[in-house]
Structure 1
Amino acid sequence: MRELLITWGDGGGELAGRLVRELRAAVREGRLVAGERLPASRVLAAQLGVSRGVVVEAYEQLAAEGYLVGRQGSGTRVAAGVADGGARPPARVVETEPRYDLKPGTPDLGMFPRAAWAGAVRRALQGAENRDLGYRDPAGLPQLRRELAAYLGRVRAVVAEPERVMAINGVGQGLALLVQVLARRGRPRIAVEDPGSPGTLALLRAHGVRPIGVPVDEEGLRVGELAASGAQAVLVTPAHQYPTGVVLSARRRTELAAWARAGGLVVEDDYDAEFRYDREPLGAVQGLAPERTVYLGSLSKTLAPGLRLGWAVLPGRLAEDFRQAKQYADLGTGAIDQLAFAALLESGGYDRHLRTVRPRYRARRDALAEALRTHLPQARLQGVAAGLHLYADLPADTDEQAVADAAARRGVRVATVGPGRLAPGGPALALGCAGLPEQRLREAAALLGEAVREAGGTVREAGGAVRDVGGLGGAVS
């Protein structure tokens, strides 16, 4: 039997538990190998200065877990098949953050209303019934569904009865569940805006959908081309298209609603409609064709994506199937966050938070736009004064990935638009403006100007790989 080093120290916890952890680690890391005999309980107890009962309890616990085996007359030995030849746990991956993160799709997480949320959690728990913490309707708690129906009707002109409102774990889950529901009805052809969100394309493809691209121009989705595409459903971001930033025009909204009423299904991702800076935002398209529209939203752009809380408003013909899909996916979204958000809506705290952050985000967007006009005059900015990102068309002979790489070397992370295209298009960048204060955005714009000049005239070879430095990003939340 070899000597065994056990780091006993003065660590916290009950003695037998500490010994279990030390011996378990020794087996996992290969310091104790299969078949090796451990010291007798009396011997190890004397060496460690503890009672024999502590060692006996630790040996029994590890035998029950399968790490040790005890044989009459042979003592206690290490079980076979546990250690991996001396393998060590993998090194912890340290994620490095860029100095200037312009990845779109995330709000300023430092603005999360911690005090208001904590107060909402306290109020929610104080008022919650015991049954609210059990297995309830997978579509969500009635308190939240009522508050959401009222809020969406008041703020977004959504036709929303509480029975049609469902709590989900973000828009990404809503899309995944909807694809499952539609697939059971014959897997329809689904169209998307082109360009669009790389995350949306990846999600749809992961669920077996081959999305059909429909071009976007200065009025938004070209509904005439949608009708000619043969698609039966379409995913749109009409309030503020990602990534171009355009708003679906009144004419196109009317055409889209007519297309839906003729048999199509509109899936409306209202991902950052709360942030319109030059005027009141337009109401949701869902209000024009509520029985032919699935409306999706979340807290990922207004509070924090880490909450994983969103909502879906379903047409009557899809509501029950969607509820069942949600049940089979996860039995329902977390109750405490649902109760907290319901309390925040009821108290007006959510409205107050939005009123607080809107002028800050507008100032940041304006600062980045002004700085880009100074340091990157060859780029053309598109879109309305809204949302948490800017869209910048680059000169036609520019390789957008070369720009992103040059920017990364300067500590600036940006998202290229290419990964969100289904048809060829010009080089462009989507630049998040919510996460940095104005001065740092100006510094980032100056560095981005240097990156474009460095990459100027560099044209990607045909068939070259496209990578997205900014990650998936975009509207999916």
Structure 2
Amino acid sequence: MRQDRESPAWSTLLELDDRPEGPLHRRLCGALRSAVVGGRIAPGSALPPSRVLAADLGCSRWVITEAYTQLIAEGYLEARSGSATRVRATAVPDQRRPHAKPRVAAPVEFEMLPGMPDLRAFPRKRWADAVREVTASIASSDLGYPDVLGHPRLRERLAAYLVRGRGAVASADDLVVCNGTLDGVVRMCRVLRSAGHTHVAVEDPGWSRLSSAVSAVGLTPVPVAVDRDGLRIDRLRASPRTRAVVVAPAHQFPTGTVLSPARRAELLDWAREVDGLVLEDDYDAEFRYDRRPVGTVQGMDSARVALMGSLSKTLSPALRIGWVVAPPRWAEAMHEAAVAVTPPPVIDQLAFAAFLDAGWYDGHLRASRLRYRSRRDLLLAELASALPGLEISGAAAGFHLLLHLDGRGAARVVHRAARRGLRLVDLDEYRMGARPGPPALVLGYGNLSDAAVPEAVGRLSEAVRTAGISRTRE
């Protein structure tokens, strides 16, 4: 029976009207036939034993056996001794056009997409231990509907970590646990709109989903250029209707620039002048290789900056745990807006709190920093050997960098790399304007194993060569 139930069709909805014409076994036969032809019962699926289906439908077994027998005769079902009655594998012919050729995509052997941490290094055992400990000790009251602001224990532990590890000004009262950075941006934008804001500035190039989220809330995203010192504050001032901006000061995505000290001061001056708000995306800020990680802008003026972060780059995006530390002026409105949202699962929140308490999170960050730095150094060495002369930027932090290409042709390189099993992304994919910028590739190495780096760079070199881009700068 276990073998027969591996792909059962026992729960398929059979559309049997109580008052149609015709006997029940014919109506059942027609319902089963329609389910097979319509694809609701897949080929090879096992049908329920006659006595089980008879009990479910409130009829005699004779009705079921008659229907099964008719469909076996028609070729829709097959019956084998000692096994369940099944849908015949060839019961429904291939409905595709006879001359249609299936699309065959080249298999992806190497992914160098940005934004993905090393998933192989996820601390499975320690996370499982934390979940197990929390599940065994959790109070019964915590198994009810969760606090929409986040569990108090995690808010306390997380606020303490942000003060200690990121130089933030944070308390549990001002912190809201959410489902990631994007969720935090959406929540803050809703509060801004309620307060009369109409425009929100975003970095350009930048995370495309960010501008989409701003638009979805009903606000207008305003692209502001980024240069080697970070966000152009002069361009921000040129938009008089804009009084809020989303910025990643510690490590801008995708350029990898770090907001310079002078720009940080300018940004806060702007926020005070326009009575505005800075939404600080603390994107992979823990991973800095040339010096200690840069502290938050929020720590410089907690009245004008909302700090946002998540575990998507430090542990895993699958955990869906993020946070927002709102300025006191905005905290109450954030709390009121949280009534209609769903926070991350309580057990996961408490597991992360235990992770922080045990010092495992700090240990994981230290180990990850060493791992990414070593992999970055290996990648830089391979690029220097295979593609000498091409400029590289944004490599001081995070786990992606920019490879600047002489001439036009980043899109061609991406296409040729895909044919060689290497997935890349063009920097233009993150630009808000229609006009392309200087050609460059965004190379992510977070989830690329050390052993795969030489081969991946070799295929990248071939793609660059065949795209007709010179390896040496003029």
- Alignment TM-score, normalising by the size of structure 2: 0.79
Query: Which of 319, 322, 325 is matched with 1:310 structurally?
Result: 322
Relative to structure 1, the CA distance from residue 296 to residue 87 in structure 2 (aligned partners, 3 Å threshold; closer, same or farther) is: farther
**Structure 2 equivalent of residue 348 of structure 1:** 359
For the 8 Å contact 1:188–1:233, the answer to whether it is kept is no
Aligned partner of 1:11 in structure 2 is 4
In 1, Cα distance between equivalents of 2:168 and 2:464: 43
Counterpart CA distance in 2 for 1:250 and 1:51 is: 76
The answer on 1:210 being equivalent to 2:220 is: yes
Question: Relative to structure 1, is the Cα distance of residues 205 and 49 closer, same or farther in structure 2, using a 3 angstrom cutoff?
Answer: closer
3-state SS, counterpart of residue 254 of structure 1: helix
Distance 1:55 1:321, change over 3 A: same
**Residue 398 of structure 1 corresponds to which residue in structure 2?**
408
Residue in structure 2 matched with residue 233 of structure 1 by the alignment: 244
**2:454 maps to 1:442:** yes
* Cα distance in 1 for residues equivalent to 2:165 and 2:305: 18
Q: Shift of the alpha carbon at 1:10? A: 4.9
Contact 1:20/1:59, CA 8 A, preserved across alignment: no
| Number of the residue aligned with 1:57 | 55
1:379 aligns with 390
* Partner residue of 1:297 out of 290, 309, 321: 309
Deviation per residue, 1:258-301 (Å, 9 max, x gap): 22222121011111011111211111000111111111100000
Indicate the larger mover: 259-268 or 315-324. Answer: 315-324
Match 1:38 to one of 25, 33, 51: 25
DSSP 3-state at the match of 1:192:
strand
Aligned to 2:188: 178
CA contact (8 A) 1:165 1:312 kept: yes
Q: Which residue of 2 aligns with 1:72?
A: none
In structure 2, the residue matched to 1:464 is: none
DSSP-derived class of the 1:196 partner: coil
Name the aligned partner's letter for residue 117 of structure 1: W
Question: In the superposition, relative to structure 1, how do residues 186 and 56 fare at CA in structure 2: closer, same or farther (>3 Å)?
Answer: same
**Inter-CA distance 142–95: structure 2 relative to 1 (3 Å threshold):** farther
Q: Percent identity?
A: 43
Alpha carbons 1:107, 1:388 under 8 Å: kept: yes
The letter for the 1-side match of 2:426 is T
| Cα displacement (A) at 1:90 | 12
* 8 Å Cα contact 1:176/1:204 also seen in 2: yes
Counterpart-to-counterpart distance in 2, 1:235 and 1:266: 6
Give, in angstroms, the shift of residue 87 of structure 1. 8.8
Letter of the 2:4 counterpart: G
Question: Is residue 339 of structure 2 the alignment partner of residue 327 of structure 1?
Answer: yes
CA contact 1:195–1:421 (8 Å) conserved in 2:
yes
State whether residues 121 and 340 of structure 1, in contact with CA within 8 Å, keep that contact through their aligned partners in structure 2: yes
Letter in 2 for 1:267: L
| Structure 1 residues 40 and 398: CA distance shift in structure 2, 3 A | closer
Structure 2 counterparts to residues 62-101 of structure 1, below 5 A: 98-101=108-111
Contact 1:378 1:394 in 2 (8 A): no
Specify every segment of 5 or more residues in structure 1 that has no aligned partner in the other structure, as ranges.
1-7, 42-47, 62-67, 69-85, 459-477
Cα separation, 2, equivalents of 1:207 and 1:12: 46
CA distance in 2, matches of 1:340, 1:89: 49
TM-score under structure 1 normalisation? 0.78
Alpha-carbon distance, 1:350 to partner: 0.6
CA RMSD of aligned residues (A): 3.2
CA distance in 1 between counterparts of 2:223 and 2:466 reads 32
Aligned CA distance change for structure 1 residues 184 and 10 (closer, same or farther; 3 Å)? same
Provide the rounded CA distance (Å) in 1 between the counterparts of 2:469 and 2:383.
19
Residue 169 (structure 2) pairs with residue 169 (structure 1): no
Matched, 1:410 2:408: no
Contact preservation (8 Å) 2:425, 2:442: yes
Deviations 1:312-333 (A, max 9, x none): 1011222222223333132x22
Contact map agreement 1:19 1:58 (CA 8 A) in 2: no
Task: Rate the CA distance shift 1:360–1:90 in 2: closer, same or farther, 3 A.
Answer: farther
Q: Say if 1:201 and 1:420, in contact at 8 Å, map to a contact too.
A: no
The equivalent residue for 2:279 is 267
Secondary structure of residue in 2 paired with 1:285: coil
Picking from 371, 376, 380, the partner of 1:365 is 376
User: How far is the alpha carbon of 1:142 from its aligned partner?
Assistant: 0.5
Equivalent of 1:336 in 322, 347, 364 = 347
Equivalenced residue count is: 408
Displacement of 1:384 after TM fit? 4.4
Amino acid at match of 1:334: P
Alignment-derived partner of residue 430 in structure 1? 442
Q: Alpha-carbon deviation of 1:40? A: 11
Residue 377 (structure 1) shift: 2.6
| 1:246 alignment counterpart | 257
Quote the offset at 1:50 in angstroms: 6.9
Q: Deviations over 1:155-186 (max 9, x none)?
A: 10110011111111011111111222211222
SS across alignment from 2:298: helix
Measured at CA, do residues 59 and 127 of structure 1 come closer, stay the same or move farther in structure 2, by a change above 3 Å? same
Q: Secondary structure at the match of 2:306?
A: strand
Aligned residue type for 1:56: A
Distance (whole Å) between structure 2 residues aligned to residue 164 and residue 447 of structure 1: 49
Tell me by how many angstroms 1:250 deviates. 0.9
Structure 1 209/399 Cα, relative in aligned 2: closer, same or farther at 3 Å?
A: farther
User: Once the 2 structures are TM-superposed, how far is the Cα of residue 335 of structure 1 from its aligned partner?
Assistant: 0.4
Change in CA separation of 1:443 and 1:49 when aligned onto 2, cut-off 3 Å: closer
Structure 1 counterpart of 2:350, one-letter code = L
| 8 Å Cα contact 1:260/1:289 also seen in 2 | no
Distance (whole Å) between structure 1 residues aligned to residue 257 and residue 2 of structure 2: 63
Note if contact 1:214-1:226 (Cα within 8 Å) is conserved in structure 2.
Answer: yes
CA–CA separation in structure 1 for the residues paired with 2:130 and 2:270: 42
SS state at 2:416 partner: helix
Q: What is the CA distance between 1:9 and its match in structure 2? A: 8.0
